[in-house]
Chains A and B, each alone.
Chain A
Amino acid sequence: MTPLLQAVGLTRRFGAGLLARRGGVTAVADVNLTLMEGEAVGIVGESGSGKSTLGRLLLGLIPPSAGEVRYRGRPLGAALAADRRGVRRALQIVQQDPTAALDPRWDVARLVREGLDIHGLGTPSERAARVAGLLADVGLDAGFAARRAHELSGGQKQRVAIARALALAPEFLFADEPVSALDVSVRAQVLGLLNRLRAARGIGLLMVSHDIAAVAACCERILVMQRGRIVEDAPRATLLRTPLHPHTRALLAAVPPPPVALLATG
């Protein structure tokens, strides 16, 4: 396995510079991280600890204030300059707030197909077939293809956002709370889908979730963030069994216990 993405001293500040008198925020502070090809890594941690910002930096969606991101060993900026489309296609994101990411006026088929259209992949009928397959993968009936984004429930939007990100068969997916708006049955289905995609296509995954069980269901390695820093980075079993950092322990201790029936049947 080769490193796919690397962060070196990665730092991002907001509201500094001109607005410094209002006090800036260091959202990501000196993060060093290597993500291997096909690796599935989860991020948990405090709200506001910089998880979304770290993902957006790794994808080159926002520039760092200091440090750098490397994609396949070369600076991400240079890789983007050489082949913007190729890199954009390889690195996909499912955003935390699906409403903001989906144009409400478009129908679902167009939203999912957009990337295929932009990259000119396949014939129109191949694209239509691909869209139908993706909708089925995320558990949406074919009837949804003609619906507009604003006519969907929260969980339906989130599944459209996932189908959209997967349409381009990316190498790497940054999934920011991909299952938080999903009910448990669809959640199990989407986590299963992510696992199957990884097994079949070797997609690398960086998944943020406040639901540690969801992260543990997909990721063999888990990072814990607090105040912009990675405070713990360990294989799943080690982290769950012997958490070292106090913040990791606090997060695990605060997970609500499973309801009674589950203890009885599980």
Chain B
Amino acid sequence: MTPPLLSVRGLGVTFATPFGPVRGLDGADFDVAPGEILALVGESGSGKSVASLAVMGVLGPGGDGARVQVEGSAIWDAKVDLLRAPHRPGLAMVFQEPMTALNPVLRIGRTIGEAVARHDGVRGEAVTARVTTLLAEMGLPDPARVARAYPHELSGGMRQRALIALAMACRPRLLIADEPTTALDSTVQARVLGLLAGLRRSHGLAMLLVTHDFGVVAQIADRVAVMYGGRVVETGPVAALLAHPAHPYTRALLAAVPRLDLARGEALPAEEMPGTPPDPRHPPPGCRFHPRCAVARPGLCDSGPPPAPQALGPGRAAACHLLAA
């Protein structure tokens, strides 16, 4: 086994709010191997963005004994409160909310150009040329216009692609991408995913990909980690996990995927999952999913936290009382 490029153990993040602490992430574990694409999926509010931000070091570390390692050396651990390096070489991130990540008073070309100059050590014409290439690779029809535009002058999907281009300007080895294609139509999405898959083949680009779209997961990811209530509840290779989801939450999540039946010309009704995701300030006792779980067993699932993830075959594991029983 090749050692992981990124290794995350016991990652927790607590936010202090006027209404008491909010545990946004509650001890997440996952690894990304070199050149691997790991999809992070799960309920809204389950901690996917907080996990990505924490790995990037945007949020300070938290949790007891938490450890995040890139290529075997700790980029931070629970004892170190500050970032080792302000610009972590090899790591780049596409943020979920383009408007918060792009400087509203700078033209797109300037923002990306600064990243290009910093990473490639070039100036002038060379910067402009690289910026245009990066934007064109994203399938933007008029890259020169996009480079001249301010963020508010672009459509949602154009901004999102500008953000991916900005991340790629850093020539990362590991790309952390939080919902990078949500604002893109299906043709542009296919193109951007194709580009990322190509970079993985040619340059061994690894990705931590946060997405809600199981079509994207099936198309591009190697492995999946499913999050619920701040923890990873199931991991496995894409094909096996999608074909035979083990955790009841994963099963319920897959049942809710909207589907199109082109032959009949309609959308097949998706199943609504009952209940609401847990409020991280008052998580339910026992397994966090049990109040919404179709197969929860009283006296077992509502008593203690679920056991550590059980191995279920090659590369597969899930944390569920019923699988351990």
Contact = CB atoms under 8 A, between A and B. Distances in A.
Main secondary structure of the interface of A (DSSP, over half): helix
A214 to B, nearest CB: 6
Interface residues of A, number: 73
Contacts of A237: 264-266
A147 B281 CA distance: 11
A181 interface: yes
Contacts of A118: none
Contact of B243 (A141, A213, A264): A264
A254 B15 contact: no
A240 interface: yes
A187 B97 contact: no
Given A47-B156, A180-B183, A189-B272, A262 B257 contact: yes
Nearest to A138: B276
A93 B55 CA distance: 35
A185 interface: yes
Nearest to B270: A188
Interface in B243-276: 243-245, 252-273, 276
B215 A259 contact: yes
Contacts of A151: 15, 17, 22
A65 interface: no
B14 interface: no
Interface residues of B, number: 79
A25 B145 contact: yes
A47 B142 CA distance: 13
Contacts of B44: 153-156, 159, 181-183, 186
Given A141-B279, A153-B49, A212-B260, A261 B254 contact: yes
B184 interface: yes
B143 to A, nearest CB: 12
Interface stretch (A66-74, A96-104, A164-172): A96-104
22 contacts: A44-B185, A48-B158, A52-B156, A141-B278, A147-B17, A156-B45, A177-B156, A177-B183, A180-B182, A181-B44, A191-B270, A210-B182, A210-B183, A211-B258, A213-B260, A240-B265, A256-B186, A256-B219, A257-B215, A258-B257, A262-B257, A265-B255
5 closest A-B pairs by CB: A47-B157, A155-B44, A256-B215, A237-B265, A216-B267
Interface of B: 15, 17, 19, 22, 41-46, 48-50, 96-100, 141, 145, 148, 153-158, 161, 179, 182-190, 212-219, 239, 242-245, 252-273, 276-279, 281-282
